[in-house]
Structure 1
Amino acid sequence: MPDSVSVPEIYCWALVTGATSGIGKAVVLALRDAGLQVIAVGRSPEALAELRFEPGVTVVEADVRQVDAFTEILARYPVDVLVNNAGVLSTRSPFQEMAPAEIDNMFDINLKAPLHLARKVLPGMIERGRGHLFFIGSSAGRSPHPGAAVYGASKAGISLFCDALRCDLLGSGVRVTEIAPGRVQTQLYKTTMGMQAAGAELYEGYESIMPEDIATLLLAALSLPQQVDVSRLEVFPTAQAVGGARMVKTKG
């Protein structure tokens, strides 16, 4: 991290979901290096083991869909910074071919869980008069992408929620930031494509955004003076743009 990035001393504890790889893991280490005590939440005990012995990091094995599991954690640790990062793209199928269970799965993890967790941490933040909520959105929540109708809808929900939540929190001292990246080199596509196929199709041939880049942006927003709230950060690889159209001709 650049030496110029300095997180305000009023922030002591951070909680990061989806912390075992990709953006989540990069954010955990960046916040820890910036001087915060970080609670790293994930579902994989094997992946959490890699963070268990990191100084300044407390690991918690939990499923973000089981929001009641966080009651004890939040009673013990006064979370000042919440990073809702956990997300899933469990299928890239056209909507009409998608299993109903996958619709529920993506909305449960990508939209419902972040809202429920934010609801749990907000009373403490408001009582202390400080806090920063981060939501990792997606360019798919800002523009349409084929095969991502449900994923995009869940991320669009996050985006509008952040705008509305900011209205509700005016005067509370709590800030809200959505980070909506384009293609980041993570394991998001592992379930739908496999890592080798994802690498060949999605990442080869140009330089991607790396998880550490998103962590740098998050720290930059967190480090700004308390009266400054970066409401949304949209970031893309230099080689990626959203837009364009393809016409499909009818046969016969």
Structure 2
Amino acid sequence: MKSELNVFVTGASSGFGAAIARRFIDEGHRVIATGRRTERLAELAAACGERLLPLTLDVRDHAAVEAAVAGLPAPFAAVDVLVNNAGLALGLKPADQADMADWEQMVDTNIKGLLYVTRALTPGMVERGRGHVINLGSVAGEWPYPGGNVYGGTKAFVRQFSLNLRADLVGRGVRVSNIEPGMAETEFSLVRYHGDAEKAKAVYAGTQPLTAEDIADTVYWIATRPAHVNINTISLMPECQAFSSFAVKRQS
């Protein structure tokens, strides 16, 4: 592993992404922190200093992603680690009642956005013979729950794409990892409930969920393994959470 890494983090304006950016900065690395909220990125940059490059970017915009990668300044241009963190869940209605706009936004962000950034950065990694793609999946990509329909589907895609990307890049110095968190308290539920803070808070009532720092610690550990070690998949949950039971609909 290089002693100093250039780390490209998507969705860095809050939650996991901001914590991941801070962790790498604290350990002496450089970070390209991307997100849609310019003011949040500016706050992060003010706290982290010149080793962090804030970059306003919507990963759903393919042309903007390509332009952003092509325009990286020289000290940041050779990206060693890509953390595909940008993603969201919207709504919990059953499939027959769900909002199609919510479905489309999840697909555009969680799948297509991840693809755009991965495709833009992996050629450089292959050319340099080193690199690491770390994707943020979810336990929802393996374990279903009511209302998780398209969100779970997008995270199942992340899981399988990570495995296939690993197969494509094997032996070329580029590692691929997938992290699948369970319940974690960030803005995740606030976004899912379209800004309803009361509903979002209720999700975590009486629990001790994972934190953004827990995920940042996991990402950092994966990225700093020796170059010959590839962590394929990590699934983690808070102690208070376990796998869903089978749904059984009983007649009254």
| Residue of structure 1 equivalent to 2:222 | 221
So what's the TM-score if we normalise by structure 2?
A: 0.92
- Partner SS state of residue 97, structure 1: coil
Instruction: Report SS of the residue matched to 1:212.
Output: helix
Report if aligned partners of 2:4, 2:28 keep a CA contact under 8 Å in 1.
no
Q: What RMSD over aligned residues (CA atoms) do the two structures have, in Å? A: 1.3
Counterparts of residues 28-47 of structure 1 (less than 5 Å): 28-47=21-40
Q: Deviations over 1:147-177 (max 9, x none)?
A: 0110000000010000111110011100001
Correspondences of 1:102-113 after superposition (within 5 Å)? 102-113=102-113
After superposition, give the CA deviation of every residue in 1:105-125 in whole Å (9 maximum; x if it has no partner): 111100111012101101100
SS in 2 for 1:95: coil
Q: CA deviation at 1:68?
A: 1.9
C-alpha separation in 1, matches of 2:162 and 2:247: 32
Contact 1:11 1:81 in 2 (8 A): no
Q: Deviations over 1:51-95 (max 9, x none)?
A: 132211110111110122133432331211101101111111111
| d(CA) in 1 for partners of 2:29, 2:79 | 10
| Corresponding position of 1:149 | 149
Which range moves more in the overlay, 225-234 or 236-245? Answer: 236-245
Task: Count residues in correspondence.
Answer: 243
Equivalent position to 1:21, from 10, 14, 24: 14
Give the corresponding residue for 1:63: 58
Query: CA separation in 2, counterparts of 1:105 and 1:41?
Result: 18
Deviations 1:117-141 (A, max 9, x none): 1011011000000001011000100
Q: TM-score, normalised by structure 1?
A: 0.92
What residue identity is the alignment partner of 2:163? D
Is there any run of 5+ residues in structure 1 with no aligned partner, and where?
Answer: 1-7
2:123 & 2:3 partners in 1: Cα distance?
17
Contact (CA 8 Å) 1:39, 1:58: kept in 2 or not?
yes
Q: Could you tell me how far apart the structure 2 residues matched to 1:211 and 1:182 are?
A: 12
8 Å contact kept, 1:187–1:195: no
